[in-house]
Amino acid sequence: MYMRQVLPPPLAEAPFTLNAALASGVSSTRLRRTDVIHVSRGLYRPSDWSFELEAAARALSLASPGAWISHVTAARLHGQLLPPWLSDSTELHLSKPRKLPPVRRKGVVGHTVIAREEEIESYDGIRISTRSRTWLDLARHLSLVDLVCMGDQIIRLPRPAYEVRSEPFDTLEGLCTLVAQHPNLQGVVRAREALELLRVGADSAPETILRLAMADANLPEPDLQIALRPQDTTSPTADLGYRHRRLAVQYDGEHHLLDAQSLSDRRRDKAFELAGWTVLVLTKDDLADGFERAINKIKLHLRHAWTDHSHAAGFTGTK
């Protein structure tokens, strides 16, 4: 067989399998040259290749029939919410059913699990656990707060004006069914705890973290995605708050600093204020202190609102 001097694309651009090399006319002898690195059984990469998670996962998936990309790797490829210590992880996680030999590949974290066929999907040549199954797999590794943040993201309703999808990735009922189907999975107890705390309506991890901090502070559960005018589809909305106390709480992340978004935010907040609402705008500084100051402000507002309501209703007890 002719020994190519230069690797053909796409072999020269990303990790590849032995079968892909042979199909491209590259011999096994050619693969022993210094410009190719043997990663593990049946898997190679160009020596000058810069790590790219999706390319690595695709090659690993192709080289591992019957297995699938899972855990942190799957979460990163899906774009799921992960805590900072995992958000840039380059770990490669691969799961296999029990009927196959355990994963024994250098540089790969292997898992032997029980999974249903509907819990695995194919994405652009990669066999990968679904978002919901990935959430369940990570239940034993994530804190309860991080697990709730990821779960809220899965069940949130997309905004058609900004997203190409119109349905959530899953529903709370769907996640409950998934957890019930795996009663012996490690981490299932924490997953059950998380299910009790999931809510539809959080558009970001900080919104979920704030809601959980409010619960820890024994505040009443807030309404989520409050429309100023409920029957108006163009109405401005608040991330969370209390309609009956006219308190709107907004968490403005870094993208809210952009001029166009900042102008839109000011108009949104002004609309609530003109309608007699108090608007509390929170930022990453509030997130950094665990929303402690914000919760004190919310408590103060609710206390004053209750006092005002009591006076107006004649419940002051004065003689």
Q: Which domains does the chain have, with CATH numbers?
A: 1-50 (no CATH), 54-200 (no CATH), 201-319 (3.40.960.10)
Q: Is 240 in contact with 201 (CB distance < 8 Å)?
A: yes
pLDDT at 315: 46
Q: Where are the beta strands (DSSP E) in 59-200?
A: 68-69, 92-96, 108-112, 120-123, 126-129
SS3 164: coil
DSSP 274-317: HTT-EEEEE-HHHHHTTTHHHHHHHHHHHHHHHHHHHHHHT-S-
Q: Is 30 in contact with 59 (CB distance < 8 Å)?
A: no
pLDDT at 311: 52
pLDDT at 3: 47
Report d(CA 120, CA 155) in Å as an integer.
18
- Going by their DSSP bridges, the two strands 108-112 and 120-123 should be labelled as unpaired
Does the predicted TM-score (pTM) go above 0.75? yes
Q: Is 11 in contact with 26 (CB distance < 8 Å)?
A: yes
Which residues does 263 contact at the CB level (< 8 Å), separation at least 6?
A: none
Write out the two tokens for 151.
Answer: 């779960």
**C-alpha of 232 from chain center:** 30
pLDDT at 318: 44
pLDDT tens digits in sequence order for the chain, 319 residues long: 444 478 888 898 889 999 999 998 898 889 989 899 888 888 988 888 888 999 999 999 999 999 999 999 999 999 999 999 999 999 999 999 999 999 888 889 999 999 999 999 998 889 999 999 999 999 999 999 999 999 999 999 998 777 888 899 999 999 999 999 999 999 999 999 999 999 999 999 999 999 999 999 999 999 999 999 999 988 999 999 999 999 999 998 765 455 556 788 899 999 999 999 999 999 999 999 999 999 999 999 999 876 665 555 554 444 3
Q: Is 44 in contact with 36 (CB distance < 8 Å)?
A: yes
pLDDT at 259: 54
